[in-house]
Amino acid sequence: MARLQLDLPADQFCYSTHLTVRVTEINSANHLANDAMISMISEARARFLYEFGSVGDQVEGLGIIVTDLATMYRNEAHARDQLLFEVGVMDFNKYGGDIIFRITRPQDSALIAMAKSGFVFFDYQQKKVKAMPAGFADRFPKVNWID
């Protein structure tokens, strides 16, 4: 099986936040567990969206649904490690795009992981996918659009 490769453009990262690995997020191999990393990515995504205009789980009255997540691990993280989550967006389309993450440990500059999470905008009352609000897209003028 081919290995996953994520090529994330450095100029698309526009937000960063720190999260600390808790003891409860360590697995039996004594490093950060996969499910805990996914939770940390979700927290970084929520902070990013809040910074760029979400109100609760809504952006301009629409929800955001994660459609997929790809994560590429490069190094272990351990309890009490402080991790830097750099977050950005890329590959916008009519209904959403990708939120990207570069996770490093500033203490030694180690790249811990990279991730890419697809998303779409969703109207929960109508139960259907909706077009990306122009106000959201306008916050990211450097993002390429794809069909």
- How is the chain split into domains, by residue range? 11-134
How confident is the model over 45-54, as a mean pLDDT?
92
Cα separation, 123 vs 139, in Å, equals 21
Please give the model's pTM, rounded to 2 decimal places: 0.94
**Tens digit of each residue's pLDDT (9 = 90 or more) over 104-123:** 999 999 999 999 999 999 99
CATH T-level topology, domain 11-134: Thiol Ester Dehydrase; Chain A (3.10.129)
Cα separation, 142 vs 92, in Å, equals 11
| 98, burial (CB in 10 Å: exposed 0-12, middle 13-18, buried 19+) | buried
The per-residue pLDDT for 1 is: 63
**Tens digit of each residue's pLDDT (9 = 90 or more) over 77-108:** 999 999 999 999 999 999 999 999 999 999 99
Cα separation, 105 vs 84, in Å, equals 6
